[in-house]
Copies of this chain bind each other. A is one copy, B any other.
Amino acid sequence: MTERPESPVLDNPGSDRVKSVRALSGRSARRRTGTFLAEGPQAVREAVAAHAAGTTTTGEATTTGEAAGVVRALYLTPQAAERHGTLVRTALDHRIRTVRVTDRVLAAMADTVTPQGMLAVCALRDVPLSAVLDGGPRLVAVLDRVRDPGNAGTVLRAADAAGADAVVLTSSSVDVHNPKCVRSTAGSLFHLPVVTGIDLSRAVEALRGAGLRIHATSGAGDLDLDDLLDDPDAPGGLAGPTAWIFGNEARGLGEADLALADDAVRVPVHGRAESLNLATAATVCLYASARSQRRGTGCRTGRAQNPHGARP
């Protein structure tokens, strides 16, 4: 199955194989085939790394790693293959089917205008919520009715940066495997588990059952995020396991959805802006949790050093 990069270059943009890859820009083909597109070196590198972490070099799934076969096929131009030698070597070592294509074929396959020489067809990333709960999560981001793929991807990237254990997109949210969403995650889609297609109420119930406190963001919330940061160890404070619910970019969370949460929290607005946008508000909340879970009150006396590799 594995083609060496020395094999013939795929050069017919009208071929069935090209069309079937291109079709993955649409949701129905993604669901039918169980695959999606990761475009560009950054996303492909993370996809190949996730694949390598989950398989041995003989292509078997490892017992502790991720399910086998994150990457189903890697398409790249000869120039990109040359530029990204380590990436290609890793792919071949882990028996990823690697196919050289012309620029025109790559352009015909891609959703992006400039996929920078490569794309990978990958297995869908979503996992059941139960798989997340088995890991004893301490920080989870829940997106409800979030419609813009760029916003959803940016929150997923921020959740990864904040050290979150999972992201949940409820059934009314955008498809996380949408190419624009995948791009916005900047590779983070391959870093942390994602749960999709679940009702908000069911997600909240399960997360609460697993010991997480449910905070929802609302401009009219009765708790101020800065107050929560002052007292992370108070009952219901941010030092404990927490799930954040973030609502639709234009309308926020509805009354009924807010009522599902334990607390409604507002991000303080000091100037004259009506609010922050979804992704920036979510990032401020997730970073508040990260700080509270790692540092406690933030007072000089008695605080622990951050154990989680802020990079040197």
Contact = CB atoms under 8 A, between A and B. Distances in A.
B158 A291 contact: no
Classify chain A's interface size: 35 or more
B186 A295 contact: no
Contacts of A300: 230-231, 297
Contacts of A290: 268, 270
B270 A187 contact: no
Contacts of A274: 42, 186-187
Contacts of A309: 270
Contact of A273 (B160, B287, B306, B308): B160
Most chain B beta carbons < 10 A, residue from A164, A270, A311: A270
Most chain B beta carbons < 10 A, residue from A229, A266, A279, A280: A280
A32 interface: no
A270 B311 contact: no
A269 B310 contact: yes
A274 B160 CA distance: 9
Contacts of A226: 291, 294-295, 298, 306, 310
A188 interface: yes
Nearest to A290: B270
Chain A binding site: helix, strand, loop or mixed by DSSP? loop
Nearest to A158: B280
A114 to B, nearest CB: 13
For this chain, the copies found in one complex come to 2
A256 B163 CA distance: 31
Interface in A271-302: 271-277, 279-280, 283-284, 287, 290-291, 294-295, 297-300
A97 interface: no
B311 A271 contact: no
A297 B226 CA distance: 12
Given A161-B267, A184-B277, A226-B291, 15 more contacts: A154-B279, A161-B269, A161-B276, A162-B271, A186-B273, A186-B275, A226-B294, A230-B295, A230-B300, A230-B303, A269-B310, A283-B283, A284-B287, A297-B299, A298-B299
The 9 A-B pairs with the shortest beta carbon distances in the complex, nearest first, are A163-B270, A268-B310, A161-B273, A160-B273, A280-B283, A299-B299, A191-B272, A160-B271, A163-B271
Interface of A: 42, 154, 157-164, 184, 186-188, 191-192, 219-220, 224, 226, 229-231, 266-277, 279-280, 283-284, 287, 290-291, 294-295, 297-300, 303, 306, 308-311
